[in-house]
Chain A
Amino acid sequence: MTGVYESPKPRINASLLSQYIGRPVCFVGRLEKVHPSGKALILSDGEGKSASVELNDPLDEELSGIVEVIGMVSNKGTVMVVSYTQYREDKISFDLELYNEGLKVLHDFPQHYPFEVSLSG
């Protein structure tokens, strides 16, 4: 799983999950629900669609607001989380809908925002 850190982790939303099964991704969403076990979360993206993410160990802290997770997409379309970061909103709130528009731009112009390193001769 540590290989995920060293790999490119394309930024995606819930609609793209099915296209990234078996691949590392970066998913940013609003925390909607925490499973009682503390090992699963529901995040909603900028389009309002939900994604399930699963943790290795139960959450040991209070999480709220915008959370960014990186991990592998399972066959079921859930993200198996390797690590997560909460986006700070103490000064300015994060515009998740705008971020979703940004994602569309990234995916429209992959040649100008590559999620891969091309080795040149």
Chain B
Amino acid sequence: METAGYTQSPGGFGSPAASQGGDKKARTRAQQIVPCTVSQLMSAVQAEDVFKVGEVEIAQVTIVGVIRSTDKSTINIQYKVDDMTAAPMDVKQWIDTEDMGVDNSVIPPGSYVKVSGNLRSFQNNRSLVAFSVRVLEDMNEVTSHMLEVVNAHVQQSKPQNTMGGGGGMNLMPSMSSMGSTGSYSGASMMLVNGLSANQNQVSQKCFIPQGISMQDLKQKLSSMSVTVIRQIVDFLSNEGHIFSTIDEDHFRSTDNEA
């Protein structure tokens, strides 16, 4: 039975007092942005205002798919995004009429995009309210998303997660034949603090007051290509783990040094 309006996953804003203190551990988990498939979002079990895919609690999610249709009004853009796992998913993006910095032009059908947003359920209809719909410039993100989805859900399914070391490696037997492109090494498959090993490596380098420059990052992380470092920096920045300091190429961590 749903009350008027649509159901929200607890994001921290205005959660009613009654639901506080109930399930602290699950709440922490729901703060991560989880890569998913449309089929997982449609199959997710809803208990009150919480969505779960198996053991994984989801609120903010990312999907990667191709735009099948668009519909623009003055206040929002509606897309149907097809990631091949189910029927195309409804994605709604609100138009921020005052923010001139945000590009509100409609992305044409046939374009591959990565959508980041919150899962919503309204009258048995599941949709995503997107805070980001980004055209893919590197189609290898299709491949990386596929792997990230499996990784995110495999990790959360293990009851005792031994993060770090060789704990998770035996889950991916077919990965041993990979290696043609160094940037997708098996080590980057495991999540610590919700970040992959590569992302943690970059993040750890950012505890410099005036920010670390891209040059220094490239130097210190010689095993990673510039493209990968740039991708990781963009990701960490979007997630709020780092911010730019003196210019666009200097970054500092938002966390206190551990």
Contact = CB atoms under 8 A, between A and B. Distances in A.
B39 A115 contact: yes
Contacts of B184: 98
B37 A113 contact: yes
Interface in B143-195: 143, 146-147, 149-150, 153-154, 157, 172-175, 177-178, 180-181, 184
A21 interface: no
Interface stretch (B12-20, B40-48, B202-210): B40-48
A62 interface: no
Nearest to B136: A88
Given A8-B84, A114-B85, A105 B175 contact: yes
Nearest to A6: B87
Contacts of B153: 112-113
Contacts of B177: 101
Nearest to A119: B43
Contact of B66 (A85, A94, A102): A85
A102 B147 contact: yes
Contacts of A103: 146
A89 B139 contact: yes
B123 interface: no
Nearest to A110: B150
B146 A102 contact: yes
Main secondary structure of the interface of A (DSSP, over half): loop
A95 B140 CA distance: 7
Contacts of B180: 95, 97-98
A5 B149 contact: no
A76 interface: no
A29 interface: no
B142 interface: yes
A42 to B, nearest CB: 21
B171 to A, nearest CB: 8
A104 B139 CA distance: 18
Contact of A114 (B40, B87, B146, B178): B40
B112 interface: yes
Given A92-B140, A94-B139, A102-B143, A114 B174 contact: no
A115 B85 contact: yes
A62 B132 CA distance: 32
Contacts of A113: 37, 85, 146, 149-150, 153
Given A112-B154, A114-B43, A118-B43, 10 more contacts: A5-B82, A6-B88, A85-B112, A98-B184, A101-B175, A101-B177, A105-B175, A112-B150, A113-B146, A117-B39
Interface of A: 5-11, 26, 66, 70, 85, 87-89, 91-92, 94-95, 97-99, 101-106, 108-109, 111-120
Which 5 residue pairs of A and B lie closest in terms of their CB atoms, listed nearest first?
A112-B153, A92-B138, A104-B174, A6-B87, A87-B139
